[in-house]
Structure 1
Amino acid sequence: MEWILSTDVHVLFWLHRLAGPHMNSFITLFTTGINCLWLWLGLAAAGLWNRRSRWITLTIIVAVIAAVFIGDVVLKHVVMRIRPYIVIEGAPVVEALKYPVSYSFPSGHSFFFFAGATVIYCYRQRLGILAYGLAAVVAFSRMYLFMHFPSDVLAGAVLGVGVGYGAYRICQYAKKRFFMRHSLYR
């Protein structure tokens, strides 16, 4: 475990070599944007409204709910890993952001975004590749801000891929088994 922690800390400081006013501004704007609940509620409403994107949207919702439960409700309280900006002396923080005080493992943002990207990839591969790119930027931002250790982000990404694929399979089964009789849900 000591080797993992040592590697995590080295990687965090190595990534932070990119720091500067432009990068800090970008990361601050990006983090503020991805944390905007109204943005995600609006996208979900639009996705549910559009018949062509209804199932992909429902599947993403299932994946994110599962990720929140598994990651934030269960794993964070089992592992109870303290966030790097709290435990690493001299960890740089961006003053403009509000830093979370919940536990660090796994990275919830990485978990949610990789779960959603996996769902998108399962339905539409080209769009899914872009979604994975966005998820990677989210994962990078969590480490750059010292909100998560790299192992937290890696675990969140791996779990996200698994949960996203599981949500896809479950929703495909439900669609075929229960909903194909009703044209409203196609």
Structure 2
Amino acid sequence: MQRRLAGYDRALYRSVARLPTPRLDEPLRRVSDFADYSKPWLLIAAALALLGGPRGRRAAVTGLAAVGTASFVVNQPMKRAGETRRPDREALGVPKPRWVRMPTSGSFPSGHSASAAAFAVAVGEVLPPLRVPLRAAAAVVSFSRVYTGVHYPSDVLVGVAVGALSGSIAARVARLMTAGED
């Protein structure tokens, strides 16, 4: 069963590699690089904290707590437990113009995807008008990791699941801590 799933994962990876979309190479490379160290989420959190009043500050803190939790879970126990190899993007046909620097950590799961989903879910729960744009941004970051060849689709899907769970938990905790304040 595991071998079959790995085969599907590689087949989907190859399908993304074969997409005839050279106009997306530069933008998705930039997105993937920009998302290093959760930069987009830190910048949005700063803007929310400075400009969003009490709810914006709550959303910023909740989002960053979710990112911290997801990053810890993904980068400590999960990546250390599996130590899966990164894709061989040359052998699997990812065009070189798409390439970003290949991380040295294990491939499974995607930390970029976990952080993106964690922030989007957590902040979207506190500030519902931001739910769709943040989730769209998280989806672009997550897809960019497969598109640039540094993750298999399953790495991204599990990263998103861990991030969404972290975001949901952070939002619940924030609601409990601030019950009666609004």
Q: How far 1:91 moved relative to its partner? A: 4.3
Equivalences for residues 13-32 of structure 1 within 5 A: 13-32=14-33
- Output one character per residue of 1:36-65: Cα deviation in whole Å (capped at 9) or x when no partner: 766554433332233240000000010000
Are 1:54 and 2:57 matched, yes or no?
A: yes
Are 1:112 and 2:115 matched, yes or no?
A: yes
**Which residue in 1 is equivalent to 2:174?**
171
Are 1:103 and 2:106 matched, yes or no?
A: yes
Instruction: State the secondary structure of the residue aligned to 2:84.
Output: coil
Amino acid at match of 1:126: P
Structure of higher CA gyration radius: 1
In structure 2, the CA distance between the partners of 1:38 and 1:161, relative to structure 1 (3 Å rule), is closer
Amino acid at match of 1:154: L
Equivalences for residues 92-171 of structure 1 within 5 A: 92=94, 93-94=96-97, 97-171=100-174
Matched length: 178
- Specify which of 79, 82, 85 is matched with residue 79 of structure 1: 82
In structure 2, the gaps of 5 or more residues are none
- Please say if residues 29 and 148 of structure 2, whose CA atoms lie closer than 8 Å, have aligned partners that are also in contact: no
**Which residue in 2 is equivalent to 1:2?**
3
- Please say if residues 99 and 149 of structure 2, whose CA atoms lie closer than 8 Å, have aligned partners that are also in contact: no
- Output one character per residue of 1:86-120: Cα deviation in whole Å (capped at 9) or x when no partner: 7x734424476322110111111111111111112
What TM-score do you get using the length of structure 1 for normalisation?
0.84
Amino acid at match of 2:36: N
Percent identity (aligned): 28
In structure 2, the CA distance between the partners of 1:46 and 1:98, relative to structure 1 (3 Å rule), is same
Amino acid at match of 1:170: V
